[in-house]
Chains A and B, each alone.
Chain A
Amino acid sequence: MDNHDAVITGIGLISCLGEGVDAHWAALNAFQPVVDATSFPGFPVHPMAPLTLDKQISKREQRQMEPWQRFGTYAAGAALDAAGIKGNAALLSRMHMIVAAGGGERDYAADEAIMTGLPKAADPDGFLNEHLLSDLRPTLFLAQLSNLLAGNISLVHGVIGSSRTFMGEESSGADAVRIACARIAAGQGDCFLVGGSYNAQRADTLAIYEMGHTLWHDGFAGVWERQARGGGMIQGSQGCFLVIESRAHADARGAAKLARIRSVATDRSTRRPGEATANARQQLAALQGTYDPASIAVISGASGVAAPTTEESAFLRELGLPVRATGNAIGHGMEPSFVTNLAIAAAAVANGTLFPPLEATEQPMTGPLKDMLVTSWGHWRGEALAHVSSV
């Protein structure tokens, strides 16, 4: 035990499974897929559960945001509530924040009007400029900028010690947690809010991933099961924030500690066959002797995209540990996906048990659970591995 251990003292978690760690725990123990197959025909997504936004965000502030920022600002508030520091201005004013972010929603009606009219316009460039100038809400830009999720959290919840935003799909979330834990270990900060959000119910972002042929178009099928049929992602709307503190800081304020983040390793490769596995093996080797193989399991962040998921599946088979691919239950959530899986891993070690398999090929685990590994192989780039243990 070390005063500079990074411990989780608050979780704010929302997804298609509902709101809060308890709701997620219950749903994972009685798993039923929650999928919206109709909003974007041929593009199934796991939709966000209905939220009572007023609990965390005033009506006035909600109007300044689109769903991506609302999800994140809501989850951040829930994490602060869970850690017992909501409204604690003295602490919030020195709390550091690292947000993993993509960008915000567009004005889809305005875009569609331009897409329809521009090809027929006599002066297409003039038409574009005129319509952007007259149709865009001036404040929409502030709902779109990547760093404005963090900006909203400062504004709504008063987290103002510092504010940094990382971008870069799955890696941004893993690096956000890694940097927070490294700073805690080195004494470069002792209280952090780390997380992000993702809105999967967006045609503009689905179009990006469709250009890369990374999406699943059929009815619901499990992450591992999809591999026999070409693979692909079913994305999921998520919001997840963690309050991460040094053990000393948590103890000094008498906070309940849910789990300890023992290590987070991140790396990249160009994904030639075997490269991601080589990174994962190296990350795993560094954990040698830090856990008992009889009481550990793996939360896999596998996206479902064929090449990395197939390779990760082989790597995990070598390990021989019980595995749960949470993408089955909450979809693939891009930037916050690693943080979300870390939260679920923390809940599992806090409970001391693992939830049942989410797919037929996953092995059951009945014994006590003390440690969890969390993998995050990005759908395109980035390999991360975390080790979470009971406090």
Chain B
Amino acid sequence: MNDTDHLGRPVVVVTGIGVITSLGQGVEANWKALTAGVSGIKRITRFPVTNMKTTIAGTVDFIPVDEISAPALSERMADLVVAEALATAKIGPDGDFPGPLFLALPPVEMEWPQRMGLAAGPNETVTYADLLRNAGKPENARNYPRFLFGSVAENLAVRFGTKGSPISTSTACASGGTAIQLGVEAIRRGESKAALVVGTDASVNPESLIRFSLLSALSTRNDDPAKASRPFSKDRDGFIMSEGAGALVLESLTHARARGATILGVIEGCGEAADGFHRTRSSPDGKPIIACIRNALEDAGLRAEDIGYINAHGTSTPENDKMEWTGVQAVFGERAGAIPISSNKSMIGHTLTAAGAIEAIFTLLALQRGVLPPTINYDTPDPAVPVDCVPNVAREAKVAYAISNSFGFGGQNVCVVVGAA
């Protein structure tokens, strides 16, 4: 492998990974479950689901945090996946990571337990004026940094000693891909020899679940949670909200080689494109999806025929899976139906902000270990989406290059090209 790519830029490699999903903690536990076709989706027990249309999710319930909130659990999971990634990469002394932090983080907002903690008034009716009057009490001070947008990244930067101003990014369901792209670009610019990339999301709380539910985005197959996420199946009916985190240590190949690091895979290129069609729906012509995949291939210096596996966005919504197929078909032509395209979301659900990072890690593992994770629950093929989705059972395959797709609400699309080490 050359130290520079087809455009003379530093080649960017992955030397450390860490992951948590509803399937468990750690790369090995996740890979074992993922390739065995196990589902992490279950009934929600974190809070009462009375009156809710969707009562299942891919929650991470095995990581204890004090005073659970989306930023608190997101931060704790990020801590753990970064620690795992750094242990694999063996880079830098403890607490002194030699590069910047790029964090994909869900939007931060005070949640109902904290809001109710401020809601007490002298009158029959409680108003925001009461909330403002109570907010300054000393017992609320801890909630101030907790519900700032910058505090998760700040705390991670302190703990792991990353360099410079940490960047928190949100491109909805494409955020993890955006964070990887920011890291790749920084190394290519020569700003840093290494970058720490994290995607984390712990948004399963009543209001977030209801918000997605009101948009009719979620599956309502509550009776059999493990069967609810059915990407590419004709009877798919929505995505499953899920939690998780993924961390990647990115380095220039030169830097990794010089310190004798084990190279797990290569980030060959990234592509992005925005969609101006609708807030939640893709352009019917698939143009932005097509553009983002083509941009990624061009950035990687690869042709469509070089790609041997597609880690799909594959959310299991009627709309997404159809549009993704339209995009894949346009880019890959007659070969589209013959390229294995599997969706991790069939097992881990949609980890939203974290999905791009977690699924890039699974893509890299597929190349490294020669096994393609399956799309489970594929019982009823959709004639409109004739994909080889690696149905139900993992498949051995030697693949040199793969892509991982991420498409977000708000029209933000990212595609990452991963190469074998």
Which residues of A are at the interface with B, using a C-beta cutoff of 8 A? 40-43, 64, 97, 101-103, 108, 111-112, 114-116, 118-119, 123, 125-126, 128-130, 132-133, 136-142, 144-148, 150-152, 154-155, 158-169, 171-172, 174-175, 178-179, 182-183, 185-186, 188, 203-204, 206-214, 266-268, 270, 378, 380-382, 384
B338 at the interface (CB under 8 A from A): no
5 shortest interchain CB distances as A-B pairs: A151-B410, A212-B144, A168-B150, A203-B128, A163-B274
Which residues of B are at the interface with A, using a C-beta cutoff of 8 A? 47-53, 105, 107-110, 112, 115-116, 118-119, 124-132, 135-136, 140-141, 143-145, 147-150, 153-154, 157-158, 164-172, 175, 178, 182, 185, 188-191, 206-207, 210-215, 272-280, 288, 408-412
**Inter-subunit contact B275/A160 (CB<8 Å):** yes
- Chain A residues with CB under 8 Å of B128's CB are 108, 111-112, 203-204, 207
Q: Number of contacts between A and B (CB, 8 Å)?
A: 257
For the complex formed, measure the closest distance between the CB of B38 and the CB atoms of chain A, giving whole angstroms: 30
**Inter-subunit contact B150/A266 (CB<8 Å):** no
Please give me the residue from chain A that is nearest to B140 by CB atom. Answer: A211
Please give me the residue from chain B that is nearest to A42 by CB atom. Answer: B132
**Inter-subunit contact B115/A115 (CB<8 Å):** yes
Interface pairs (15), CB distance under 8 Å? A41-B129, A112-B125, A136-B211, A137-B214, A142-B409, A148-B410, A164-B169, A164-B412, A167-B149, A167-B168, A169-B150, A183-B185, A203-B128, A210-B132, A210-B136
**Inter-subunit contact A130/B51 (CB<8 Å):** yes
Please give me the residue from chain A that is nearest to B137 by CB atom. Answer: A211
CA distance A119 to B272 in the complex (A): 47
CA distance A42 to B128 in the complex (A): 13
CA distance A163 to B291 in the complex (A): 13
- Chain A residues with CB under 8 Å of B164's CB are 266-268
Cβ 8 A contact of A112, one of B49, B127, B169, B211? B127
**Inter-subunit contact B207/A179 (CB<8 Å):** no
User: Which of A137, A207, A209, A268 gathers most chain B CB within 10 Å?
Assistant: A207
**Inter-subunit contact B154/A381 (CB<8 Å):** yes
**Inter-subunit contact B411/A142 (CB<8 Å):** no
For the complex formed, measure the closest distance between the CB of A39 and the CB atoms of chain B, giving whole angstroms: 10
CA distance A163 to B414 in the complex (A): 10
A125-B50, A209-B144 known; 13 new pairs, CB 8 Å cut-off, are A108-B128, A133-B51, A136-B214, A145-B170, A162-B274, A165-B170, A168-B148, A186-B190, A204-B131, A208-B135, A268-B164, A268-B165, A381-B154
CA distance A378 to B153 in the complex (A): 15
For the complex formed, measure the closest distance between the CB of B235 and the CB atoms of chain A, giving whole angstroms: 24
**Inter-subunit contact A165/B169 (CB<8 Å):** yes
**Inter-subunit contact B154/A207 (CB<8 Å):** no
Please give me the residue from chain B that is nearest to A125 by CB atom. Answer: B48
**Inter-subunit contact B107/A160 (CB<8 Å):** no
CA distance A101 to B105 in the complex (A): 12
CA distance A368 to B73 in the complex (A): 53
**Inter-subunit contact A133/B214 (CB<8 Å):** yes
For the complex formed, measure the closest distance between the CB of B313 and the CB atoms of chain A, giving whole angstroms: 16
Known contacts A103-B107, A164-B178, A384-B165; is-contact A169 B148 (Cβ 8 Å): yes
- Chain B residues with CB under 8 Å of A378's CB are 150
**Inter-subunit contact A207/B48 (CB<8 Å):** no
CA distance A219 to B50 in the complex (A): 47
CA distance A210 to B135 in the complex (A): 6
CA distance A64 to B410 in the complex (A): 13
CA distance A64 to B144 in the complex (A): 29
**Inter-subunit contact A167/B408 (CB<8 Å):** no
Please give me the residue from chain B that is nearest to A106 by CB atom. Answer: B109
- Chain B residues with CB under 8 Å of A128's CB are 112, 206
